[in-house]
Structure 1
Amino acid sequence: MRTEPVAHRSRRLWKGALLVLVLLPLVPEILILAASAYAAASGCEVQSTVACAVGPPSVTNVIRGSLQVAAVIGKEFADDNVVLVWLALCYVLIVLGWTRLSSRLLLALGTSLILAILPYFGPILAIGPLANPKCNPNEGGIPPECMIYGGNVGEPAHEAVRLGWKFFYGAPVAIAAFVVFALAVTAMHFAAKRRQSSAAAQDRSI
């Protein structure tokens, strides 16, 4: 019976962990998209005056709660540099899960760009298609009402627009983190190559 090498199983574990870590901050946006898709499939109208339910909560409540959580995540990522800690964890998983330098650099770049953009623009992108004459998210929060699927999302919809300004705080940190990682992992790669070359030369000289 063929068994999977331990090293290969470990790499698969790290790869799965990386996917979870990248998607975790984006769960609110995923919930908004899922609730909106369910509402559309159920025949609910965005401008309806009747609440559209997805179970115990209404679609409006799911969207409102998700936007509130997304705002907290975006602010923490930008204001408290949580994005730096999050990326550091992602980079560790990338090093553990992939061995090729090109794969590490491409994955790190993709992860950095995702976490440099989506925590700040993801919420407004998620509710953008739901804008209607009764809901016009804007920085000023005027009017304060934002009616979606028969309920008032309210201030969280307007906060999603203002959250975009956090991009200018969080994105530079994410890009700087990638540059540092790229330099470090490239240096380690060529240092390992030199050690291998030196070892091979010593073996030939014996």
Structure 2
Amino acid sequence: MEMPVEIVGRSPAFLIVAETAADIAAREALLDRAMGPKRRKKSSEKLRRGRRPSEGLAFVARDASGAVTGTVRMWDVVLGEGGQAALLLGPLAVDPALKNAGIGSALMRHAVAEAARLGHTAILLVGDAPYYGRFGFSAAETGALAMPGPYERHRLLALELADGALNDVQGTLKAAGRKLKAPVALTVAA
């Protein structure tokens, strides 16, 4: 069972915990504030649409009042046609009012550690190399990989959690993992 991680540092204390269904509205509002309305048009979103995050790999940061101040999720993907399993990280977002408070870094470290603990071998993301490089991500192993739809090739980054996990991988990332359940239609008898 995952234990909450309390982080105290440059900012007010916050807690990193597993995301719950009760966090969905707050997480979506936070993502809208942090990333804007175009976030739903990104290539990464195509891999997330209609899927649930990888089991045990969706987290939120809460402040002392319990409000959601940050979020990160990981998603199951397959590297190329019939390729190996990996994770796609994203989105990572922090309330814009709390930028540079260490929340994003703490969420990243926690998510990567949990992915390793759960036995995953590689994580990919689309993001800024200067930011994600400090967590070990680079474009060194992504040259033969592609995202569906438009993206900036130099921003496709990866982190091996097991040595050699990305050796000889190629192809376009494909969604995998658990699908969202379709809403149940209610019929009313006349």
Q: TM exceeds 0.5?
A: no
Higher relative contact order (CA 8 A, sep 6+): 1
TM-score by length of 2: 0.25
Higher strand share: 2
TM-score by length of 1: 0.24
